[in-house]
Copies of this chain bind each other. A is one copy, B any other.
C-alpha cells in the first residue's frame, strides 16, 4: 500500500513527486507512455522563472535529472482504471495492480475526442486496455484504434488470441500486416452495436465487423479513469488546494484546467502533493 499514486509523468506529476519524496511519503509514479508530450516539442521556453531561453526538450531533461538526483523512479506504466475502495484506491495498470491511500492525477490536457458510440458501449465491447480485456474476445474479431506505437504491441498480443485484428493507426507508422493483423489507414467514425454489444466499427473507408474496439490513447478520458470525479468545462474540478470532488484525490496541471503553462503545472503539482501529505497525516492509518 503506497501513501500516494501519481498518475502521469509530466511537469505537474514530477513536481508532485519531488514534494512527496521530501515529505518522506511512499509513492508510485505511473507515467504512462513517456514518448508523448507537447513540452518536448516546444522550440523555446522563456517563461519558466530561473531557466531562460531553453528548448522544451532541454527543460524536460533538467526536470528528469532533478528526479534522478532525488532517486525518484518513473514507471512507464499506464493507469487504465482506478477503483475507489473507500479508504484507499485500487489502480489497474494493465499487467500490474497497485493500492494507494491517495491519488494525484496529472494526466495532462484532456482530449474530448470520444467518437460516437464510444462511451455508450464502454465495457460492452469498447475498452482502453487490450492487455486487460483482450482475453474476453478469444477467437473473435477486434479493432484497435491507436494514437501511438503502444497499440502495435497490443495488436501483436491480441493477434495471438483473436481470430482477426484490425489496426487503425492515428499516427505515422510503417507497422505492417502480420499473422492476422490487418492495418487499415482510415478515420474511425463511430462504434455501432445492438442493445448491449458492439457489432462493428464505422470508418472513413467503410464498416468493419468486430466484437470489440480498443482505443489506445495518449491521454485517457479522465472520467473513464476514476468514477465520480466531478468535471468543469472538460477539466477536473479542483479547489485552490487542488482537492477534487473525491476525498484523498488531488489533480494538478493541464488536466485541472487552463492556462496550459509549465510553471502553473509545476506549482499545482507541489500544492497537490502537500495537500495529499496533509490528508495522509490527518487520516487514521489504513490497516
Nearest residue in B to A60 (C-beta to C-beta)? B50
Contact B19 A47 (CB under 8 A): yes
Docked Cα-Cα span, A15 to B47, in Å, equals 7
Contact A49 B14 (CB under 8 A): yes
Per the 8 Å Cβ criterion, residues 103-127 of A in contact with B are: none
Chain A, residues 28-50, CB within 8 Å of chain B (1/0): the string is 00000000000000000011111
Chain A, residues 10-38, CB within 8 Å of chain B (1/0): the string is 01001100110010000000000000000
At the interface, yes or no: A131 with Cβ under 8 Å from chain B?
no
Per the 8 Å Cβ criterion, residues 72-114 of A in contact with B are: none
Find chain B residues with CB under 8 A from A258 CB. Answer: 241
Find chain B residues with CB under 8 A from A15 CB. Answer: 47, 49, 263
Chain B proximity of A6: nearest CB distance (Å): 13
At the interface, yes or no: A53 with Cβ under 8 Å from chain B?
yes
Contact of A271 among B53, B59, B65, B261 (CB under 8 A): B261
Docked Cα-Cα span, A266 to B65, in Å, equals 21
- What's the dominant secondary structure at chain A's contact region? helix
Docked Cα-Cα span, A49 to B18, in Å, equals 8
Contact A46 B22 (CB under 8 A): yes
At the interface, yes or no: A132 with Cβ under 8 Å from chain B?
no
Docked Cα-Cα span, A63 to B49, in Å, equals 6
Size class of A's contact patch? Answer: 35 or more
| Residue of A22, A51, A63, A257 with most chain B CB atoms under a 10 A cut-off | A51
Nearest residue in B to A277 (C-beta to C-beta)? B259
Find chain B residues with CB under 8 A from A65 CB. Answer: 52
Contact of A52 among B69, B267, B269 (CB under 8 A): B69
Find chain B residues with CB under 8 A from A69 CB. Answer: 52-53
At the interface, yes or no: A265 with Cβ under 8 Å from chain B?
yes
At the interface, yes or no: A226 with Cβ under 8 Å from chain B?
no
Contact A267 B257 (CB under 8 A): no
| Residue of A63, A259, A265 with most chain B CB atoms under a 10 A cut-off | A259
Docked Cα-Cα span, A152 to B62, in Å, equals 45
With A259-B274, A261-B271 already in contact, the answer to whether A266 and B49 are too (CB < 8 A) is yes
At the interface, yes or no: A7 with Cβ under 8 Å from chain B?
no
Find chain B residues with CB under 8 A from A257 CB. Answer: 240
Contact B52 A70 (CB under 8 A): yes
Instruction: List 16 A–B pairs whose Cβ atoms lie within 8 Å, in order of A's numbering.
Output: A15-B49, A18-B47, A46-B70, A49-B63, A50-B50, A50-B66, A51-B66, A240-B257, A241-B259, A259-B274, A261-B271, A263-B263, A263-B269, A264-B270, A266-B266, A267-B267
Binding site for B on A (CB under 8 A): 11, 14-15, 18-19, 22, 46-53, 59, 62-63, 65-66, 69-70, 238, 240-241, 257-259, 261, 263-271, 274
